[in-house]
Structure 1
Amino acid sequence: MKVPMLDLSEQYSTLRGEMLEVLDEVMTSSRFILGDNVKKLEQDVAAYSNVPFGIGVANGSDALHISLQACGVKAGDEVITTAFTFFATAGAIARCNATPVFVDIDPVTFNIDPRKIEEKITEKTKAIIPVHLYGQVSDMDPIVEIAKKHNIYIIEDAAQAIGATYKGKRVGELGDTACYSFFPTKNLGAYGDAGMVVTKHEDLAEKMRVIRVHGSKPKYYHHVLGYNSRLDELQAAILNVKFPHLNEWSEQRRKIAVNYTEKLKNALGDKIVTPVETEGNYHVFHQYTIRVENRDELQKFLGEQGVSTMIYYPQPLHLQPVFQELGYKEGDLPITEKAAREAISLPMFPELKEEQQDYVVECIAKFYK
């Protein structure tokens, strides 16, 4: 049996008629940039996030960069974040000529450990970026308390977590801004690059709208140094078709996660560590990530059996060559480094069949036996 990490073909087949219809409407209108589809998506995603403002941008990486710029992060500033995340989180900080300051993670959730944040705060600290990794929200209450105490911004990296909740509050309303990626593999994915920032603050929303169009307002009059980062109409039209299905897809991911956990525990007991949904959280399982010994050997074996897997992430950011000048060394973030050696993500998408899951579990059990 072949089990892909992700298969978007079945999802497309169920939406194909509606997709072709809306794409034809965009083509016929000849309005391709910042039109009605973008406005609708901005309004709907903002409302879904329980905030008033959405700003469509070209991708999730730009969402982070534009958020930081709107919050006034500049050369000489510091931004605290996790090293166990995709490069864009810290890359956006560096693109502002600011310094990423890395904090270790919670060993259960893989998210930033709030207990280790305050010791990293200095007079240069401008913001905290908690990453809601794999679809589970970071422990936000202590992070919000720290941010208020020190008068610093919270920028949620919610690239993997649209729809997730924490103690009854949805991703997007927990920080000053929240950044979504609509990369095709995400829970709500476009058919190319796309992203959005949502915020409760009107002043930040207005700054971000200006930044995404080369810093101009009105057109051809430039007051800040922005750049070209606009969500286009075609991608917005695609996302508008998909968006009404998001909750249903999230529920299906959760059912698959429950099934994985039950079957893996029955087959392997404590030989592997399965994901934990912390109390008060609604995990949307962008990834189903386990921790194992002999991770690389397991991945090789599963590949030979036709099971695709991914490692998110094999090299933590504090040890990346591009950040060598920051002076981090191996051993500085031991929990992060251990996770990078042990974490492996199994196939996860709403259309994953139960027999495919059974086969994945059977192959993992076979490896450890």
Structure 2
Amino acid sequence: MIPISEPSLTDRERQYLLEAFDSGWISSRGEFVERAEALLRNATSARYAAVVSNGTVALHLALLAAGVEAGDEVVMPSLSYVATMNAALYIGARPVLVDVDPDTWCVDPHAVAAAITDRTRAVIAVDLYGNPADYAALRNVTASRGIVLIADAAESIGGAMNGVPTGALADISIFSFFGNKIVTSGEGGAVTTDDPEIDARIRQLRNQGNSVERRYFHDVLGFNYRMTNLAAAILCAQLERLEELTTHRREVLDWYESRLKGVAGVRLQSVAADVVRSPWLMTVCVDDWSGAQRDQAISLLAEEGVETRPSFVPMQDMPYVKTPERISTPISAKIGREGISLPTFPGLTKEQVDHICERLLAAVRGLD
């Protein structure tokens, strides 16, 4: 079976992990935590970076640091992994879900502008499948209104817009280092920003709200959202290999696009001229597929030894979402039922990509 994803782990990751183990610092203190944060600052051009235990808690902390409170509104795209919405719900804020651009599949700035009210405290943009959102247009919406712009860059490390890396495109940015991401620590995440007050708030909240002046005294309600030194050791090795990892994955995406671009009925995600996409996960849509047809194609590909997965379900379709939030976002719904994600990782060969494309196109023809 060709898996949907597979981490690229080398002797460097093993060496650093053993160094952390042998040091005795296996919890949230140790040299690799600070090293990882320094490497993230270098990779993103952000002034501050704080590592945390996963990408979901990074979103939670970002919203808290932005001053979001219960009853506030947070505008975000409906097409995203559900953690984007859940982070707002944890606080008691109201997620305001809007549609995405039909070409880039990222949040539509015009839809964001139309959704702004006097209750809006933050906007979350999602770099879907590694494609950075239109941050220039989004800043035009948020900056003059005093609304905090947060980048859910969980999938887009190594990407850029107008030469600015992801991690420095919004007021606050978050990353995920889950096992299927370009850079992994197994589980892990980070928050980056140029604002020293936001960074200080993130660091306090991730560490049980501890006082910086008095040990075991806690100024605010905080959380245990720290990254372990063991996870940070793996992350350091991965961040040192970021250029290598992105280069190999870009090659994989190039192979896919050379086979699938221009094929009738197959639609690829568009990348703006001023954007460098992070090559996270090759995802395509098949025109006029129903969700059932897409799922049948996933089963057929599995029988041929290829693991794939469906695109994200619009978040308002989750059973626990309250009825008033079940809005219509037709573009997100279309991508959600027509989209299929294909294996994407550095170890893929061109022959494997050719096989995957042949099986996908056979499934498309067979399900017409």
| Bucket of the pairwise TM-score, normalised by the shorter protein | over 0.9
Structure 1 runs, 4 residues or longer, greater than 4 Å off: none
1:73 correspondence with 2:73: no
Output the CA distance in 2 between the equivalents of 1:204 and 1:35: 23
1:30 correspondence with 2:24: yes
Output the CA distance in 2 between the equivalents of 1:88 and 1:367: 31
- Map 1:85-100; keep pairs closer than 5 Å: 85-100=80-95
Per the alignment, residue 340 of structure 1 pairs with 336
Per the alignment, residue 317 of structure 1 pairs with 315
**Per-residue deviation, 1:312:** 2.5
Once the two structures are superposed, what CA deviation does each residue of 1:320-359 show, in whole Å capped at 9, x if it has no partner?
Answer: 1111244324xx1111111111010011101111110111
Q: Which of these residues, 344, 355, 368, is aligned with residue 351 of structure 2?
A: 355
**Per-residue deviation, 1:55:** 0.8
**Per-residue deviation, 1:46:** 1.6
Output the CA distance in 1 between the equivalents of 2:271 and 2:120: 31
Output the CA distance in 1 between the equivalents of 2:294 and 2:273: 28
Q: Work out whether residues 251 and 284 of structure 1, in 8 Å CA contact, stay in contact via their aligned partners in 2.
A: no
Pair 201,355 (structure 1): closer, same or farther in 2 beyond 3 Å: same
Output the CA distance in 2 between the equivalents of 1:61 and 1:34: 21
Q: Work out whether residues 153 and 174 of structure 2, in 8 Å CA contact, stay in contact via their aligned partners in 1.
A: yes
Per the alignment, residue 49 of structure 2 pairs with 54
Per the alignment, residue 209 of structure 2 pairs with 215
Q: Secondary structure at the match of 2:100?
A: coil
Once the two structures are superposed, what CA deviation does each residue of 1:2-45 show, in whole Å capped at 9, x if it has no partner?
Answer: 3221233xx32xx13x3333222222221222321100111110
**Per-residue deviation, 1:257:** 1.2
Match for 1:299: what amino acid?
A: I
Once the two structures are superposed, what CA deviation does each residue of 1:132-158 show, in whole Å capped at 9, x if it has no partner?
Answer: 010110011110111112111011100
**Per-residue deviation, 1:47:** 2.3
Output the CA distance in 2 between the equivalents of 1:265 and 1:146: 33
Q: Work out whether residues 34 and 230 of structure 1, in 8 Å CA contact, stay in contact via their aligned partners in 2.
A: no
Output the CA distance in 1 between the equivalents of 2:197 and 2:246: 32
1:119 correspondence with 2:114: yes
**Per-residue deviation, 1:187:** 0.4
What 5-or-longer segments of structure 2 have no aligned partner? none
Q: Work out whether residues 165 and 283 of structure 1, in 8 Å CA contact, stay in contact via their aligned partners in 2.
A: yes
Q: Which of these residues, 176, 179, 187, is aligned with residue 184 of structure 1?
A: 179
1:274 correspondence with 2:268: yes
- Map 1:1-369; keep pairs closer than 5 Å: 2-8=1-7, 11-12=8-9, 15-16=10-11, 18-32=12-26, 33-191=28-186, 193-217=187-211, 218-265=214-261, 269-292=263-286, 293=289, 294-313=293-312, 315-329=313-327, 332-369=328-365
Output the CA distance in 1 between the equivalents of 2:42 and 2:253: 27
Once the two structures are superposed, what CA deviation does each residue of 1:248-305 show, in whole Å capped at 9, x if it has no partner?
Answer: 2112211211211111247xx2221123222111111211000012322221211111
Q: Work out whether residues 78 and 100 of structure 1, in 8 Å CA contact, stay in contact via their aligned partners in 2.
A: yes
| Root-mean-square deviation (Å) | 1.4
Output the CA distance in 1 between the equivalents of 2:156 and 2:52: 17
What 5-or-longer segments of structure 1 have no aligned partner? none
Output the CA distance in 2 between the equivalents of 1:7 and 1:59: 18
Once the two structures are superposed, what CA deviation does each residue of 1:213-262 show, in whole Å capped at 9, x if it has no partner?
Answer: 11111332111111101011000001111112111211221121121111
Output the CA distance in 1 between the equivalents of 2:65 and 2:161: 25
Q: Work out whether residues 39 and 240 of structure 2, in 8 Å CA contact, stay in contact via their aligned partners in 1.
A: no
Identity in percent: 31
Pair 325,367 (structure 1): closer, same or farther in 2 beyond 3 Å: closer
Q: Work out whether residues 61 and 88 of structure 1, in 8 Å CA contact, stay in contact via their aligned partners in 2.
A: yes
Output the CA distance in 2 between the equivalents of 1:179 and 1:190: 15
**Per-residue deviation, 1:87:** 0.9
Q: With the length of structure 2 as denominator, give the TM-score of the two structures.
A: 0.94
Match for 1:235: what amino acid?
A: A
Output the CA distance in 1 between the equivalents of 2:80 and 2:156: 13
